Amino acid sequence: MKQNNSHEAQTNPPLVRLTHLFVALALSMFMMACAGSLRYSSDYPLRSETFRSRDSAFSGRVPQGWFASSDDSLAPAFVAWLIRDDFSATLAVRELLLDQLTVKHIRKEGLNLLARIDVGLRENTKDKQSGFVVEPKIFEIGGRKFCSYELMEGTVKTRVVVFEAKEKYYECEAKPSKEKWTQEDLMLLFTAQQTFLSALIF
């Protein structure tokens, strides 16, 4: 009588090892697919100049070709505001003021929820909103979690990254100040943003 598969696996150690290897490989491929890959690198050159956020929650370095604005009257809602030297783009960080119940849900469900709440808040304050171009995606830099998404505001493509620092929640917006940008220019802008975030010290 032919032995069943379970008995064959028990009496054939190489088959058991091969089965375990297959399962481990499949699990690894699944996790890699879920994690995805970062679209933007963190290799944009940085200046030696540093800045500190207005609420003193973090500090960082300024990308080359940019400067940190210290004029509170121009952007009082931002805790950090960086401007490209030719005034064609900005990197703006602002605190997201959330109630305790919302914070509780975010801590339970993660930054993906915060990103969706954030875009909802933006829809209430923007006249022209076209929704997600790139859905929220979790990524890590130096062991710290972030969540990014991209959207169209009118005809301007914007990338937003949300994160937590010292029990506060923030969004970092990379946005051109003019409508017509090439895909290469946007890639460079969003790479500057990614590098900016990688250099933050909390």
pLDDT in tens, 98-131: 999 999 999 999 999 999 999 888 776 655 555 6
The number of residues in the chain equals: 202
- What are the residue ranges of CATH 3.40.1000.10 in the chain? 46-198
Could you confirm whether domain 46-198 is CATH 3.40.50.300? no
Place of tokens 């491929």: 29
State yes or no: pLDDT of 158 exceeds 80. Answer: yes
Per-residue model confidence (pLDDT) at position 59: 96
Distance of CA 170 to the CA centre of its chain: 11
Per-residue model confidence (pLDDT) at position 18: 36
State yes or no: pLDDT of 149 exceeds 80. Answer: yes
Distance separating alpha carbons of residues 120 and 98, to the nearest angstrom: 13
Cβ neighbours of residue 20 closer than 8 Å, sequence gap 6 or more = none
The two counts, helices (H) then strands (E), for the chain are: 5, 9
DSSP string, 80-141: EEEEETTSSEEEEEEE----HHHHHHHHHH-HHHHHHHHHHHHHTT-S----EEEEEEEEEE
Enter the pTM of the model: 0.78
pLDDT in tens, 34-74: 344 568 999 999 999 899 999 999 999 999 999 998 776 66
Inter-residue contact 48 to 64 (CB < 8 Å): no
State yes or no: pLDDT of 2 exceeds 90. Answer: no
